[in-house]
Structure 1
Amino acid sequence: MSPLNRIDQIGIVVRDLDAAAAGMRRVLGAEPHTRVENTYRRTTYRGTEIDATVGVMLYDVGGIELEFLAPRSPGNVWQDFLDERGEGLHHIRFDVDSHAAARDDLHARGVETYQEGESMRGGEIRYAYYDTVPFLGFLIETLNAGGKA
């Protein structure tokens, strides 16, 4: 059985966080609980170490986090998606017990790691995006929220 069994986030790539906030306000009457600019330092993008900056806006909708992402630098998983597919559903994130087990399972299924690194949450929490677009039309992200390998 796959170690991907707990969905905790849906990620949407946009060009403009202000426009996305206005849309969420109009359609759902919702306000973000967080809005930040994150720079992921020394993250691995397609095998190369980079710094990647992205604007982030977070909402809680029925126990699932909606994450709006607006890339601020080129050459990363968010900007690639925006350039290639435009705005829209970017990823579904799974909270996993083991980052390594999820990676190994996806690699065994022929799915490659796209970008990975240390979460902005700190500690030993890691995130990874997997290139599932050819199979699903969106990426899968994993996060080991418990901080285990």
Structure 2
Amino acid sequence: MDQYKTLVELLEREEPQVNTDRQNEKSEQEPLLGTDTVTQMAIVVRDIESTADAYCKLLGVDRSSIIQSGPGEMTKIEFRGQPTEAKAKFMFIKTPLIELELIEPDDASPSIWREHLNTKGEGIHHIAFVVKNIREKIGMLERMGYPVIQKGSFWNGRGEYAYIDTTSMYKVVIELLEKYEN
């Protein structure tokens, strides 16, 4: 399934999958990040236009706008500890359970997305979780041996993100997102 940049699995269940509110369920173990909800799955691509067309057709949804990365003074991105513009194009496709993010990195701008495309090719890049107290969560993960690869601001500077190198344990990069209400 080259046009989707990943393998698509079709699954039939005897019982329909229902999106439930799990906050009322008691668990003996608290989720490490303070949430058990995967908010987003991101796919790095070479051609966002054709990949977006393929996913929108697959999901039967209208195509959303392609967003260009913001100016460096707003995004304040650091990649492997160094400031960068990390220019890219993004598209967010909503589904009932998870958001798909398509990312087409700029060729001339260092970023985790460009690195992934150069070393691994197109495909799944990260899964994202919306968290509270992102800096606390980053510190906890760093103490566990999972370093920050890239971080910056998003949502017009009213939010932070951090990509954590969790590939040794989880086989994928984990992104932490926090939106500020102010």
Between structures 1 and 2, the one with greater strand share:
1
Is 1:94 aligned to 2:124, yes or no?
no
Specify which of 21, 33, 43 is matched with residue 3 of structure 1.
33
The answer to whether residue 79 in structure 2 is matched with residue 45 in structure 1 is yes
Read off the aligned partner of 1:142 and give its amino acid letter. L
Structure 2 portions without partners, runs of 5+: 1-29
In structure 1, which of residues 110, 124, 127 is the aligned counterpart of residue 161 of structure 2? 127
- Identity level (%): 28
User: Match for 2:116 among 48, 58, 81?
Assistant: 81
Matches of 2:56 and 2:38, distance apart in 1: 24
1:88–1:4 CA distance, 2 compared to 1 (3 A)? farther
What SS class does the counterpart of residue 83 from structure 2 fall into?
strand
Check 1:120–1:40 CA distance in 2 against 1; reply closer, same or farther (3 A cut): farther
| Per-residue Cα deviation, 1:35-54 (whole angstroms, up to 9, x for no partner) | 11114613111011111111
1:147 positional shift: 5.4
Matched-pair contact (CA < 8 Å) for 1:118–1:126: yes
Secondary structure of 1:67's partner? strand
Q: Report how far residue 22 of structure 1 moved.
A: 2.2
Local SS of the residue matching 2:146: coil
Cα 1:15–1:62, aligned 2, differ >3 Å: closer, same or farther?
same
Q: Contact 1:95/1:142 (CA < 8 Å) preserved in 2?
A: yes
Backbone CA RMSD of aligned residues:
1.8
Paired position in structure 2 for 1:13: 44
Give me the whole-angstrom Cα distance separating, in 1, the residues matched to 2:39 and 2:56. 22
Higher relative contact order, structure no. (Cα contacts within 8 Å, ≥ 6 residues apart): 1
Structure 1 residue aligned with 2:138, among 103, 109, 112? 103
Partner of 1:115: 150
Instruction: Determine the C-alpha separation between the residues in 1 that align with 2:130 and 2:170.
Output: 19
1:137 corresponding residue in structure 2? 171
CA-CA distance at 1:65 after TM superposition: 1.4
Determine if contact 2:94/2:100 at 8 Å carries over to the other structure: yes
8 Å CA contact 2:85–2:109 kept in 1: the answer is: no
Unaligned runs of 5+ in 1: none
How many pairs were matched up? 147
Structure showing greater Rg = 2
Q: Partners in 1 of 2:161 and 2:181 — Cα distance?
A: 10
Letter in 2 for 1:89: I
Contact preservation (8 Å) 1:129, 1:140: yes
C-alpha distance in structure 2 between counterparts of 1:40 and 1:118, whole Å: 11
- d(CA) in 2 for partners of 1:130 and 1:40? 23
